[in-house]
C-alpha cells in the first residue's frame, strides 16, 4: 500500500500538500507500532526474568547478565526504532509517498539468532565448567 492509495479514498485535505490518510490506514499503522511496543516489552521482561529469576549457571556466574542485559537493550532499541518507523509511515501516508521498508524484522531476526547462539554457548560452557 502506498500513501497515495491510502489517501485516495477516505482521505481529507490536511493542508500544506498533505492529505489526511484514510482512518483505517492510520489505525493499522498505530496497531503495528503497538505490536512492536509489546515485542519490546517482551524482550525487556525476558531479559529481566533471566537476570532476576533464573538460578545462576554453574561455572558461569556472569551467564545470566550476559544473556539478560542484551535482551533489555534490544527491547529499548525496538521501542525507539518502532516509533521512528510509525512516524515515517504516517508521513508517507500523508504525503502520498511509498511506505518505506522497515528494518525492524531484520533487527528482530538478527537479535533472536544472536541470543540463541549466546545462550547455547553459555549452556555449553556451564556444562563444561560445572564443578563436579
Distance between CA 55 and CA 102 in Å, rounded? 37
- Give the nearest distance from C-beta 59 to other proteins in angstroms: 15
CA separation for the pair 32, 18 (Å, rounded): 22
The one among 4, 28, 119, 125 contacting other proteins by CB under 8 A: 28
Contacts to other proteins from residues 83-122, by CB under 8 A: 83, 86-87, 90
Shortest separation between residue 74's beta carbon and other proteins, angstroms: 9
Please calculate the CA angle 38-90-12 and round it to the nearest 5 degrees.
130
Helix axes 63-95, 23-53, angle to 10 degrees: 170
Q: If binding is defined by CB under 8 A, does position 53 make contact with other proteins?
A: yes
Nearer to other proteins, 26 or 102 (CB): 26
User: Grid coordinates representing 22?
Assistant: 484514510
By the rule CB under 8 A, 56 interacts with other proteins:
yes
Q: Which residues pair with residue 2 across a beta bridge?
A: 98
Cell of 40: 519490546
Helices (H), the chain: 3-8, 23-53, 63-95, 104-129
> Min. distance of Cβ 93 from other proteins in angstroms?
8
By the rule CB under 8 A, 22 interacts with other proteins: yes
Sites of contact with other proteins (CB under 8 A): 8-10, 12, 14, 20-24, 26-28, 30-31, 33-35, 37-38, 40-42, 44-45, 47-49, 51-56, 64-65, 68-69, 72-73, 75-76, 79-80, 82-83, 86-87, 90
Amino acid at each position: 500500500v502506498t500513501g497515495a492509495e491510502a489517501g485516495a479514498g477516505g482521505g481529507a485535505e490536511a493542508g500544506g500538500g498533505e492529505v489526511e490518510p484514510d482512518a483505517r490506514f492510520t489505525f493499522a499503522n498505530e496497531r503495528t507500532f503497538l505490536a512492536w511496543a509489546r515485542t519490546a516489552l517482551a524482550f525487556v521482561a525476558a531479559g529481566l526474568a533471566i537476570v532476576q529469576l533464573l538460578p545462576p549457571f554453574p561455572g558461569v556466574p556472569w551467564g545470566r547478565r550476559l544473556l539478560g542485559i542484551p535482551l533489555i537493550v534490544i527491547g529499548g532499541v525496538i521501542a525507539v526504532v518502532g516509533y521512528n518507523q510509525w512516524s515515517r509511515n504516517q508521513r508517507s501516508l500523508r504525503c502520498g509517498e511509498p511506505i518505506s521498508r522497515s528494518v525492524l524484522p531484520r533487527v528482530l531476526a538478527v537479535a533472536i539468532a544472536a541470543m540463541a547462539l549466546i545462550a547455547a554457548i553459555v549452556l555449553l560452557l556451564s556444562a563444561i565448567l560445572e564443578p563436579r
